[in-house]
Amino acid sequence: RNLGMQYVDMYLVHWPFKLKPGACSPVPNEEDFDKFDLEATWAAMERCLEVGLCRGIGVSNFSSKKIECLLDFASIPPAINQVEMHPMWRQRKLREVCAEHMIHVSAYSPLGGPGNAWGSTAVVQHPVIQSIALKHEATPAQVALKWGLSKGSSVIVKSFNEKRMKENKAALNLKLDHKDFLEIEKLEERKIMRGEYYVNDTTSPYKTIQDLWDNEI
């Protein structure tokens, strides 16, 4: 009703934790966390699908272990796992787990999130990415996007600039060669959206970053 729509196409559990009603800050306070029951949450997600409030349900920021935990009790598996993914955070293990269970991986921050408060230009400014772009007369952003598309993932690019939107779309026509992919696979990995704000010793279900990501960081 608030959106003025009959249904949404895809409805996601944004993070694997729960905040109290009314807590909507991107950086929650320690007292904002509530007890998280994934099984109950997913049952409610399935109900949203069954009554037609959405056409698909999925998750976001779920590790391989959390995906497998969810599948242990889900009647309807998630259609999608939306995660940070780019040439410097390639998510190989997670992509393999999701592929095994026919869960689509959608890449947010496929350029590393430049322009966001938490983002970085490390991906588009990486010498290897820039060299590949120069070789193909493309932009570094196009190289990063094409890499993500080549893995069978959708890539979510956030821009309201018409010129950049056209440039991003042109990544569909870019052809990277075997050597390009090999060079990208050698890049050091660095997760940019680490989620430190969602870890604490008292109220969060995760006491450390490793707890949050199940040692996949």
pLDDT of residue 193: 93
Judged on CB neighbours under 10 Å (0-12, 13-18, 19+), 140 is buried
What the block records as the tokens of 147 is: 């890499």
DSSP string covering 53-75: SBS-EEEES--HHHHHHHHTT-S
- Kindly report, residue by residue over 191-204, the tens digit of the pLDDT: 999 999 999 999 99
DSSP 8-state class, residue 8: B
What the block records as the tokens of 50 is: 């069954």
Select from 43, 33, 29, 112 the least CA-distant residue to 74. 43
- pTM equals 0.93
Beta bridge mates, 80: 104
Query: What one-letter code names the amino acid at 150?
Result: S
- Kindly report, residue by residue over 53-95, the tens digit of the pLDDT: 999 999 999 999 999 999 999 999 999 999 999 999 999 999 9
| Residues contacting residue 46 through CB under 8 Å, at least 6 positions apart | 57, 74, 75, 76
**Band of residue 24 on the pLDDT scale cut at 50, 70, 90:** confident
pLDDT above 90 (res 118): no
pLDDT of residue 114: 83
209, containing H or E segment: helix 209-213
pLDDT above 80 (res 115): no
Could you give the angle at which helices 64-71 and 38-50 cross, rounded to 10 degrees? 70
CA distance 163 to 147: 21
Select from 129, 130, 128, 68 the least CA-distant residue to 93. 68
Select from 52, 45, 53, 106 the least CA-distant residue to 77. 45
Select from 93, 35, 32, 88 the least CA-distant residue to 62. 93
- Tell me the mean pLDDT in the region 174-183: 97
CA distance 209 to 195: 7
Q: How far is CA 21 from CA 28, 118, 162, 176, in A?
A: 12, 25, 37, 47
pLDDT of residue 110: 96
pLDDT of residue 133: 98
CA distance 6 to 213: 35
pLDDT above 90 (res 14): yes
Annotated domain spans of the chain: 1-78, 112-188
